[in-house]
Amino acid sequence: MVVMPARGAVTLFHVRGIRVGVDYSWFFVLFLIILWLSGFYRAVLDVSNADAVPYMLALVSALAFFGAIVLHELGHALVAMRHGIVISDITLWIFGGVARMTSDSDSPGTEFKIAIAGPLVTLAIAIGCIAVGIAGAGSDEFWKAMRVEQQADTSGALAVIAWLASINILILFFNLIPAFPLDGGRIARAIAWRLTGDRNRATRAAGRLGQAFSYVFIAIGLALLVSGDVVGGIWLALIGWMLGQSARGAVLQTEFASRIEGIRVADVMDDDPVAIPEDASVERALDEYFLRYRWPWFPVIDPYRRFLGLIERGAADAVPEVSRASSTVRDVYEADSSGTLRVRDDTPLESLLGNDTLRRLGALVAVDADGRLLGVVTADQVGRALRQALSRSS
């Protein structure tokens, strides 16, 4: 689970309300995997360039690899959701995948469980592939297939299963490297958090460990590049660079978080928000709210002032003029089914640092424990609180 830059992604499907998508860079990786594996399977099966079987095996392997990464991230996501942490999406990109959490873990135990869930899923996939391979071909032939020995009596199916077992073992060991924000780094952070009792201190230590490993990856990548392995050297150096950037970002965010520790959403939010009742007509929403306040969106509430979702100006404008008086806000608003549009009023302000929804909308709706609308916290208010905390400490 590596931090990735925020960018566009193609949505593939939804699992339990979690959007699963791929960043555009993943298609480049998919192409490279298929290109490389087709040559690999051609050599393993000893067939000609005209044979289509290696290409089919390469496509199956690439899609199975894609599925293994999704399952790895779903492992993180489902454990996080079980502990009350909302997952906004899972996105695959050029260097792996990431499950975006809207808030941080509330304890070292929760952090450990979320971090270890992905590697355990990957371990299960590897064991499953090994078990199927041994059951189908016998242990001797399967281990020969995994080692790609020339004398192995390898079929196409056995070659695919052996490759999947190998690549998942590789993913497992790579993710367990104690370099934040890899899973191993998050496990290290959980352990340090448990020992010190200080989340910020643990994150700072894990982030610096991640930076140290990034230098190691870059150095090995440069060594491979000098030795003639251009693709492997560039790839490993890029991974090291991205790892270093992510670790550095985590350290900086921790520094910011320590400055605003103790400040809650309720301390900075606008506690007199304007909201639109769900049974209001679209015509009323446009005339009394959008045209009056000139805001791009408004919270939508039920008769008990429970927050339901948001209505945006574009959705209201899309309703034909002749139907606006008879159509209600209930028909056009965006429901907050995933919980990413809201935040509890007693949430620490530090948990909003890096929040994707806050960055996208410019604000989040603050609610109480029963989901009733209490206020709105904006990105400007978070930034102002951070600047004030920094000025006080300087």
pLDDT in tens, 155-171: 888 889 999 999 999 99
Asked if residue 103 belongs to a domain, the reply is yes
How much is the pLDDT for 153?
A: 59
The token pair that represents 392 in the structure block: 């006080």
Query: What CATH number is attached to the domain comprising 343?
Result: 3.10.580.10
Q: Are residues 172 and 292 in the same domain?
A: no
Give the residue from 176, 191, 211 where a domain finishes. Answer: 176
Give the residue from 176, 193, 221 where a domain finishes. Answer: 176
Asked if residue 127 belongs to a domain, the reply is yes
Asked if residue 251 belongs to a domain, the reply is no
Asked if residue 335 belongs to a domain, the reply is yes
How much is the pLDDT for 392?
A: 66
DSSP secondary structure letters along 135-171:
HHH-HHHHHHHHTT-TT----HHHHHHHHHHHHHHHH
Asked if residue 145 belongs to a domain, the reply is yes
Q: Report CA-CA distances (Å) from 311 to 116, 267, 270, 294, 372.
A: 38, 26, 19, 13, 17
CA distance 66 to 384: 42
CA distance 144 to 37: 18
Give the residue from 117, 146, 176 where a domain finishes. Answer: 176
Question: H or E segment at 127?
Answer: helix 108-137
Q: Residue ranges of the chain with pLDDT lower than 70?
A: 1-9, 94-95, 102-103, 148-153, 392-394
How much is the pLDDT for 33?
A: 83
Asked if residue 366 belongs to a domain, the reply is yes
Question: H or E segment at 312?
Answer: strand 307-312
Q: Are residues 128 and 269 in the same domain?
A: no
Q: Are residues 168 and 294 in the same domain?
A: no
pLDDT in tens, 262-302: 788 999 999 889 999 999 999 999 999 999 999 999 999 99
Q: Are residues 159 and 29 in the same domain?
A: yes
How much is the pLDDT for 40?
A: 81
Backbone angles phi, psi at 99, to 5 degrees: -100, 115
CA distance 144 to 117: 30
Q: Which domain holds residue 293?
A: 265-393
* Residue that the structure tokens 């965006």 belong to: 334
Q: Are strands 9-15 and 334-335 parallel, antiparallel or unpaired?
A: unpaired
Contact 298/333 with Cβ under 8 angstroms?
no
State the total domains in the chain.
2
Query: Taking the model in full, what pTM does it have?
Result: 0.73
